[in-house]
Amino acid sequence: MARSHFLPTPTRYPRSGRLPAAAVLLGIATVASAQDAPSAGDSDELNVIAVETLRDDAPVEQAATPAPGAIETIIVTAQKREQSLQEVPIAISAFTDFQLDARGIVSVKDLGTAVPGLQFSDLAGYNLIYLRGVGTDAFVPSAEPSVATYLDGVYFPSAHNMVQSFGALERIEVLRGPQGTLFGRNSTGGAISLFTRAPGPEPEASVQASYARFDDLKARAHVSVPLADTVAASFSGFYHREDNYYTLDNGGTDELPPEIGRGGRLRLSFAPTDDLRITLTGLLARYSGTSTTTSVNTAPSLLGRLLLIPAETREYVVTADSTPSLTTDTEAWYGEAVWTLPWFDVKLLGSHYFIDAYDYVYDYDGSQRPAATYGAESDYQQIRTGELQFTSNDGSFASHWLQWVAGLYYLRSEGGYNPGYLSLAGSVLNLEPVLGGLPDALRGLLGAAPLPTQLRFNFIGLIGAESYSGYAQATANLTDWLNLTAGGRYQEETRTLIRSDVELEGIDGSLVSFAPRESTVSNFSPRVAIDVTPTRNLMLYASFSQGFKSATYNIINIYLPPDYIEPEEVTSYEIGFKSDLFDRSLRLNVAVFESEIENLQTGFVSLTSGGAINFENAGEARIRGVEFDATVLPMPQRNPGLVLTLGGSWLDAIYTDYRNGSGYDEDTGLSFRSDCGDDPDNPSGPRCRDFSGNRIVRTPEFSGAASLSQTVDVRSGSVEVGVDYYYNGGFFYLAQNSENSFESSYRVVNARVSYLHAPWNLRVTVFGENLLDERYRLAQFHTDFGRADTLAPPVVVGLRLNWDFFG
C-alpha cells in the first residue's frame, strides 16, 4: 500500500531557556522562578491531558476526554506559522473544538461572553463587533468591520450573519489589538480566525443535536473519509430552526417568521507527493428570519409623539406594521496549495466570496403606525482574494535562530444596495406646521406638486475596492531568552463609488444621480515586539503595532452627495506577560495597552441628516486598558477535574477630538449636527455640542467572565457540572452619551450538566442559558421617531447530544 501523504509536519517550537536571576523582570518572575525548577512533578505528571492543535489544515490529535477548560498546550498560527499559544507575543484567546462544544459555543457570536474585551451587538440585522473598544457601529455595506474575520485563512468581511455557525470547527483564535502587518486591512481592532476540520487519512464522523425552548432545534454533522491513499474528502452540514421569542401584535393575523439557518461545506484534500498538499472548499448557507430587525419603540421622540406613537412597555412584543424579515445567502469557494521546499514553505490561497441579503424589512419607526419602513431588495458583497505566502522551515537559512514569513496579497470587491429603499407615509410628510417643512433639498426634488400620501425612495449605492499589499515579518532568537520580532505591511487601495442614484417609485428614471468618485490611499503598518523568557514558563513582552482601515464612501444618500470617509488608523503600545505557574496548575496572561485612533469611522441614523444613515469620521480617540485571562486547577493532584477560568477587561475608551458629531436632542428627540467651528471668538456657540471626552460607543468600562466546572469519573465515563458567569458594566449606544442611550450593567448565568459514555464517545448535556432571566438588549436603534430596542432571549433550557465516532 502506498504511503499516505497526509501526515502533518512535526510541530516546531521556538527555543527557550533561562535568564540569570539578576535580569528577571517584573515581580512575577520571582514567583515563577521559585516554582519552575525541573522535577519529577513537572507537567508530564499532571493529571491534565494536553491537547495539541496542529496545523490549520491537519487533523487534531487529542485525548479522548480532556477535562473542560483544563490547561492545554495549544498550537496557534497567529503569526502565520505554528507556535505555542504561550510563546506568541500577542494577546490571544484560543479555543479547541472540545472547549467550544463543552460550553455550547456554536458561533463566533457566543465568544462575546468568553473573550476579554470582546463586545457583540446588533443593529437592524447587522452584526457589530468591538474588541478593546475598536469597532464599527454603522450598518451599511461600505462600513466594513474593524475586527477582521477569517475562515480557514479567507477574509469574510460581511456584517450580515458573519458570526453564525459554519458547521464543525477545529479551533478559534481571537487576536486582540491591531493586526495590520500580517492580517492587513480592516483589522484595527483585532482578528478572529476560524479553522474548520480538514479531511485526513483516517475516517471520522461526528454529530451534534440539541433541542431547547422556543422549539430551538440545532443539528450539525461532519464526516471525513479517505478516497484513496492521497485523496480525502469531508462534508459538514448544519441546520437550525427556532421560533421567534417575540410575538407580533399589529392588529392583524401576521406572525413573525422563525429563525432558520442551514448550510453545508465540502472539502477535498489531495496530496500527490510528500511535499505538496492541495485543499479545495465550497460553502453554501442560507439564513432567514428577523434577526434584530425585530425591534420596538420604547421611547418615542417628539416626532413619534406627534404621530401618536405610544411607548411600548410590554416585553417581547412587536407592534410593527411592516413585518420584520431578513434573508441572507452565502456562497464561498476557496482553496490552498502548500508546497514544502528544502529552503522554505510556499502557500497559495485563493477565494471567491458572495453574500446577498434580501427580503430585508425594518420598521423604521418601530411601531404599529404606518410611518416609515427601511429595507433592501438586495444588499450584496462580492469579493475575490489571492495570497502568495512564503514561510521559513527547518531547511531555511539560519533557521536555528531566525523564523520569518513574507507574502503578497490582492483583493477585489464590489457591493452595496441594489436597491435599498426608504418608504415614508403621508403622516410623516405633512408635518410642515410643526417641523417647518421638509428639508429644502428634498422639497426641491418634489417640486410644487401636493405631497402624496406615501413616498418610496429607492437608493442604489454601489462601491468597489481594489487592494494590493506586500508584507514581511521575522523573529530573531538573539539569545536563548531574548527574541526580537519586526515586520511591516505596505498596502495600496483604490475605492470607487460606482453608482449613487435615488429613484422615486412611480417616476421613470433617476430622481437624483450623484457622479461616480474614486480615491486611492496607501499605508505602511509596522509591528515591533520584544519578548523575554526569564524562566521556562514565563514570557514577558512589549510591542508596538499599527492597523489600517480602508477609506470609503457613505452610499446611502437621498438628497445629499455621498461623503468621503477618511481611512482609520490605530497605533497601539502593549506590554504583558504569559505564564504557566505552580507546575502548570495556573495559567495567567495579562496585557496592558494604549491605542490611539485617528479618523475613527462611526455612524449615525437620521432622516433629516442626509436621508437615512450618516457614515462619518469622529476625529480622534484614545483607549487605555488592562485585560487578563486565567485558568486555575485549584487541586491538580487531588481533584484534577475541578477547573476555574477567569477573564476580565478594564477599558478607559474616550473620544479625544470629536467636536462636530451628530446626535439627538434629549428634550425634543430631534436630530442635530454639532458645529463647534474654528472661530476663536466663539468656540462654543449654540450649535456646539462637543463629544470630546465622551466614552466610545458599545464599550463597557469593565466586562468579565468566570467559568467553574467539575468533572468526576464514573463507571463507563464521566459527569461534568459547569457554571458560566458573565458581567457587563454597561455602555452607551450614542457618542453623545445621552442617558437614554445607556445600556445598564447586566449579568448572564449559564449552566450545564453532562454525562460522557466513554465506550461510545457519546455525551449528553442538559443546559440552561440566562438562568437569572436578565433583561438586557441585543440592539438599540435611535431614529427620528425614538429609541427602538431588541431584548436578548429570556431563560432557555435544553438538551444537547454530541457523538464522535470513527470508522
Residue-level pLDDT at 352:
96
pLDDT of 428 strictly over 70: no
Confidence of residue 514 (pLDDT cuts 50, 70, 90): confident
Residue-level pLDDT at 72:
76
Cβ proximity of 591 and 117 under 8 Å: no
Q: pTM for the complete prediction?
A: 0.87
Interval 390-411: pLDDT, tens: 999 999 999 999 999 999 999 9
Strand stretches in 132-275, DSSP E: 134-135, 147-151, 154-155, 169-176, 190-196, 204-212, 216-228, 231-242, 247-248, 259-273
Q: Which residue has the cell 405633512?
A: 430
**How big, in percent rounded to 5, are the helix, strand and coil portions of the chain?**
5, 55, 40
What number is the average pLDDT over the span 341-351? 96
In whole angstroms, what is the distance from residue 591 CA to residue 624 CA? 11
The pLDDT mean for the chain works out to 84
Residues of the chain with pLDDT > 90, as a percent, come to: 56
In whole angstroms, what is the distance from residue 519 CA to residue 497 CA? 9
Interval 774-807: pLDDT, tens: 999 988 988 889 999 999 999 999 999 999 886 4
Angle 107-110-115 (CA atoms, 0-180°, nearest 5)?
Answer: 120
What number is the average pLDDT over the span 27-53? 40
Residue-level pLDDT at 437:
45
Nearest to 690 by CA among 725, 654, 639, 726: 654
pLDDT of 677 strictly over 90: no
Residue-level pLDDT at 159:
58
Q: Characterize 592-627 residue by residue with b for buried, 16 or more Cβ atoms within 10 angstroms of its Cβ, and e for exposed.
A: bbebbbebbbbbbbbbebbbbbbbbbbbbbbbbbbb
Confidence of residue 471 (pLDDT cuts 50, 70, 90): very high
Strands 482-504 and 454-477: antiparallel
| Higher-confidence position of 330 and 688 | 330
pLDDT of 373 strictly over 50: yes
Nearest to 482 by CA among 546, 542, 558: 542
Angle 556-409-416 (CA atoms, 0-180°, nearest 5)?
Answer: 15
Cβ proximity of 206 and 802 under 8 Å: yes
pLDDT of 427 strictly over 90: no
**Which amino acid makes up residue 14?**
P
In whole angstroms, what is the distance from residue 401 CA to residue 727 CA? 44
Nearest to 195 by CA among 83, 53, 339: 53
**Which amino acid makes up residue 541?**
Y
Confidence of residue 686 (pLDDT cuts 50, 70, 90): low
Cβ proximity of 707 and 111 under 8 Å: no
C-alpha cell at 204: 471520522
CA end-to-end distance (rounded Å), the chain: 19
What number is the average pLDDT over the span 509-523? 88
Distances (CA, A) of 44 to 621, 642, 765: 47, 18, 30
In whole angstroms, what is the distance from residue 216 CA to residue 233 CA? 30
**Which amino acid makes up residue 38?**
P
Confidence of residue 620 (pLDDT cuts 50, 70, 90): very high
Interval 239-261: pLDDT, tens: 999 999 999 998 777 889 999 99
What number is the average pLDDT over the span 510-522? 89
Distances (CA, A) of 559 to 459, 562, 723: 10, 9, 53
What number is the average pLDDT over the span 139-162? 78
What number is the average pLDDT over the span 171-195? 91
Domains of the chain in sequence order: 21-805 (2.40.170.20)
pLDDT of 474 strictly over 60: yes
In whole angstroms, what is the distance from residue 717 CA to residue 705 CA? 29
In whole angstroms, what is the distance from residue 227 CA to residue 203 CA? 10
What number is the average pLDDT over the span 339-367? 93
pLDDT of 740 strictly over 80: yes
**Distance, C-alpha 635 to centroid of its chain:** 35
* pLDDT-wise least confident of 164-168, 441-445, 510-514, 684-688: 441-445
pLDDT of 383 strictly over 60: yes
In whole angstroms, what is the distance from residue 755 CA to residue 559 CA? 61
Interval 531-583: pLDDT, tens: 999 998 999 999 999 999 988 888 877 767 788 889 999 999 999 999 999 88
CB atoms within 10 A of CB 280: 16
Residue-level pLDDT at 73:
83
Q: Could you tell me which residues come within 8 angstroms of residue 211 by beta carbon, excluding any fewer than 6 positions away? A: 217, 218, 798, 799
* pLDDT-wise least confident of 6-20, 326-340, 789-803: 6-20
* pLDDT-wise least confident of 4-8, 374-378, 755-759: 4-8
Residue-level pLDDT at 764:
96
pLDDT of 230 strictly over 70: yes
Q: Could you tell me which residues come within 8 angstroms of residue 10 by beta carbon, excluding any fewer than 6 positions away? A: none
| Higher-confidence position of 46 and 100 | 100
In whole angstroms, what is the distance from residue 163 CA to residue 110 CA? 9
CB atoms within 10 A of CB 666: 11
In whole angstroms, what is the distance from residue 698 CA to residue 119 CA? 7
Interval 88-97: pLDDT, tens: 999 999 988 8
Q: Could you tell me which residues come within 8 angstroms of residue 600 by beta carbon, excluding any fewer than 6 positions away? A: 568, 617, 618, 619, 620, 621, 655, 658, 696
- What's the 3-state SS for 47-79? CCCCCECCCCCCCCECCCCCCCCCCCCCEECCC
CA atoms within 13 A on the CB side of 70: 26
In whole angstroms, what is the distance from residue 390 CA to residue 472 CA? 9
In whole angstroms, what is the distance from residue 188 CA to residue 168 CA? 28
Residue-level pLDDT at 465:
95
Residue 114 DSSP code: T
Residue-level pLDDT at 610:
55
Residue-level pLDDT at 17:
37
